[in-house]
Structure 1
Amino acid sequence: MAARWGGSGVKTGFVPLDDGFELRFAGLTVLRHSAACPAVSVARGEPDITMYRGNYRIADAPRERSAPGSWQRDGEGVVLGDAAGPVARLALDGNRLVVTALRPGDDRLWVRFHADPGETVWGGGEQMSYLAVNGRRFPIWTSEPGVGRDKSTELTRIMDAEGMAGGDYWTTNYPQPTFLTSRWLAVHLDANCYSVLDFSDPACHGVEAWAGEAAFELFADTGPIGLVGQLSSRFGRQPPLPDWAIGGAIVGLKAGLDSFERLEGFLAAGTVVTGLWCEDWAGVRQTSFGRRLFWDWHISDRSRARYPDLAARIAALKARGIRFLAYANPYLCNDGDLFAEGVAGGHFALRQDSDEVYLVDFGEFDCGVVDFTRPETRAWFAERVLGQEMLDQGMAGWMADFGEYLPTDVRLADGSDPMEAHNRWPVLWAEVNAMALASRGQTGEAVFFMRAGFSGVGAHCPMLWAGDQSVDFTRHDGIGTVITGALSAGLVGNAYSHSDCGGYTSLHGNVRTAELLRRWAELAAFAPMMRSHEGNRPDDNLQYDSDPDLLACFARWSRVHAALAPYVRHLSDEAAETGLPLQRPLFLHYPDDPALFAVQDQYLYGADLLVAPVIEAGQTERRVVLPGEGAWRHVWTGADYPAGTHTVAAPFDAPPVFYRPDSRFAALFAGLAGALAG
Structure 2
Amino acid sequence: MRGISTRILAENEGFELVYEGRIILRHTSLCPSLVISRGNPRVTMYRGNFRIEDSPSGTVIPTGWQQSENGIEFAANGSICATLTVMSNGIEVRTTDPAFDRITLHFHAEADEQVWGGGEQMSYLSLKGRAFPMWTSEPGVGRDKSTELTRIMDKEGMAGGDYWNTNYPQPTFLTSRWTAIHLDASCYSVLDFTNPESHTVSVWSNRAKFEIFAAASPTELVSALSTRFGRQPQLPDWAIEGAIVGLKSGASSFDRLERFLDAGTSVSGIWCEDWAGIRETSFGRRLFWDWKSGDRSAARYPGLKQQIAALHERGIRFLAYVNPYLAVDGELFAEAEAGGHFARQLESDATHLVDFGEFDCGVLDFTQAKTRDWFAERILGREMLDIGVDGWMADFGEYLPTDLRLGDGSDPMEAHNKWPVLWAEVNAQAVASRGRTGDAVFFMRAGFSGVQAHCPLLWAGDQSVDFTRHDGIGTVITGALSAGLVGNAYSHSDCGGYTSLHGNIRSEELLQRWCELAAFAPVMRSHEGNRPDDNLQYDTNEALLTCFARWSRVHAHLAPYVRHLCEEAEKTGLPAQRPLFLHYPDDASLWTVQDQYLYGADLLVAPVIEQGSSSRNVLLPGDTPWRHCWTGEDYAPGLHDISAPIGQPPVFYRPDSAFAPLFAGLAGVIEL
- Per the TM alignment, residue 87 of structure 1 is displaced from its structure 2 partner at its CA by 1.2
Give the counterpart letter for 2:446 in structure 1. A
Hey, what's the Cα distance between the residues in 2 that align with 1:92 and 1:483? 38
Q: Does 1:175 align with 2:169?
A: yes
Paired position in structure 2 for 1:309? 303
Give the counterpart letter for 2:555 in structure 1. H
Matches within 5 A, 1:594-605: 594-605=588-599
Paired position in structure 2 for 1:25? 19
- Per the TM alignment, residue 11 of structure 1 is displaced from its structure 2 partner at its CA by 7.6
Paired position in structure 1 for 2:587? 593
Matches within 5 A, 1:222-261: 222-261=216-255
Q: Does 1:216 align with 2:210?
A: yes
3-state secondary structure, aligned to 1:321: coil
- Per the TM alignment, residue 103 of structure 1 is displaced from its structure 2 partner at its CA by 2.4
Q: CA RMSD in A?
A: 1.1
1:620 to 1:326, Cα distance in 2 relative to 1, 3 A = same
Paired position in structure 1 for 2:664? 670
CA contact (8 A) 1:11 1:28 kept: no
3-state secondary structure, aligned to 2:625: strand
TM-score of the pair, normalised by structure 1: 0.98
Hey, what's the Cα distance between the residues in 2 that align with 1:77 and 1:526? 49
Hey, what's the Cα distance between the residues in 2 that align with 1:118 and 1:344? 58
3-state secondary structure, aligned to 1:474: coil
Give the counterpart letter for 1:488 in structure 2. S
CA contact (8 A) 2:6 2:90 kept: no
- Per the TM alignment, residue 634 of structure 1 is displaced from its structure 2 partner at its CA by 0.2
Paired position in structure 2 for 1:185? 179
Matches within 5 A, 1:301-450: 301-450=295-444
Paired position in structure 1 for 2:470? 476
Paired position in structure 2 for 1:98? 92
Aligned mate of 1:565, from 559, 569, 592:
559
Matches within 5 A, 1:254-273: 254-273=248-267
Q: Does 1:144 align with 2:138?
A: yes
CA contact (8 A) 1:86 1:103 kept: no
Hey, what's the Cα distance between the residues in 1 that align with 2:347 and 2:402? 14
Paired position in structure 1 for 2:624? 630
Hey, what's the Cα distance between the residues in 2 that align with 1:84 and 1:517? 65
CA contact (8 A) 2:6 2:86 kept: no
Paired position in structure 2 for 1:36? 30
Paired position in structure 2 for 1:7? none
- Per the TM alignment, residue 104 of structure 1 is displaced from its structure 2 partner at its CA by 3.9
3-state secondary structure, aligned to 1:630: coil
String of CA shifts for 1:609-640, please: whole Å, max 9, x gaps: 00000000000000000000111000000000
Which consecutive aligned stretches of 4+ in structure 1 deviate over 2 angstroms post-superposition? none
Hey, what's the Cα distance between the residues in 1 that align with 2:479 and 2:494? 13
Hey, what's the Cα distance between the residues in 2 that align with 1:533 and 1:546? 13
Give the counterpart letter for 1:376 in structure 2. K
CA contact (8 A) 1:483 1:600 kept: yes
Hey, what's the Cα distance between the residues in 2 that align with 1:577 and 1:492? 16
Matches within 5 A, 1:115-126: 115-126=109-120
Give the counterpart letter for 2:525 in structure 1. R
Unaligned runs of 5+ in 1: 4-9
Paired position in structure 1 for 2:65? 71
Give the counterpart letter for 2:658 in structure 1. R
Paired position in structure 2 for 1:278? 272
Give the counterpart letter for 2:647 in structure 1. D
Paired position in structure 2 for 1:620? 614
String of CA shifts for 1:495-553, please: whole Å, max 9, x gaps: 00000000000000000000000000000000000000000000000000000000000
Paired position in structure 1 for 2:514? 520
Paired position in structure 2 for 1:85? 79
User: Comparing 70-79 with 256-265, which one deviates more in the overlay?
Assistant: 70-79
Hey, what's the Cα distance between the residues in 1 that align with 2:639 and 2:241? 33
CA contact (8 A) 2:5 2:87 kept: no
- Per the TM alignment, residue 76 of structure 1 is displaced from its structure 2 partner at its CA by 2.9
String of CA shifts for 1:318-354, please: whole Å, max 9, x gaps: 1101000000000000000000000110000000100
Hey, what's the Cα distance between the residues in 2 that align with 1:76 and 1:106? 21
Give the counterpart letter for 1:245 in structure 2. A
Paired position in structure 2 for 1:581? 575
- Per the TM alignment, residue 96 of structure 1 is displaced from its structure 2 partner at its CA by 2.3
Paired position in structure 2 for 1:297? 291
3-state secondary structure, aligned to 2:340: coil
TM-score of the pair, normalised by structure 2: 0.99
Hey, what's the Cα distance between the residues in 1 that align with 2:295 and 2:185? 44
CA contact (8 A) 1:229 1:580 kept: yes
3-state secondary structure, aligned to 1:628: coil
Give the counterpart letter for 2:91 in structure 1. L
Hey, what's the Cα distance between the residues in 2 that align with 1:64 and 1:298? 53
Hey, what's the Cα distance between the residues in 1 that align with 2:361 and 2:171? 30
Hey, what's the Cα distance between the residues in 2 that align with 1:355 and 1:554? 51
Hey, what's the Cα distance between the residues in 2 that align with 1:675 and 1:397? 28
Give the counterpart letter for 2:226 in structure 1. S
Hey, what's the Cα distance between the residues in 1 that align with 2:427 and 2:271? 17
- Per the TM alignment, residue 84 of structure 1 is displaced from its structure 2 partner at its CA by 4.7
3-state secondary structure, aligned to 2:464: coil
Paired position in structure 2 for 1:6? none
The share of aligned pairs that are identical, in percent, is: 69
Hey, what's the Cα distance between the residues in 1 that align with 2:597 and 2:234? 21
- Per the TM alignment, residue 91 of structure 1 is displaced from its structure 2 partner at its CA by 1.2
Hey, what's the Cα distance between the residues in 2 that align with 1:94 and 1:112? 20
String of CA shifts for 1:276-335, please: whole Å, max 9, x gaps: 000000000000000000000001111100000000000000110100000000000000
Aligned mate of 2:103, from 106, 109, 118:
109
Hey, what's the Cα distance between the residues in 2 that align with 1:87 and 1:651? 63
Unaligned runs of 5+ in 2: none
Paired position in structure 1 for 2:530? 536
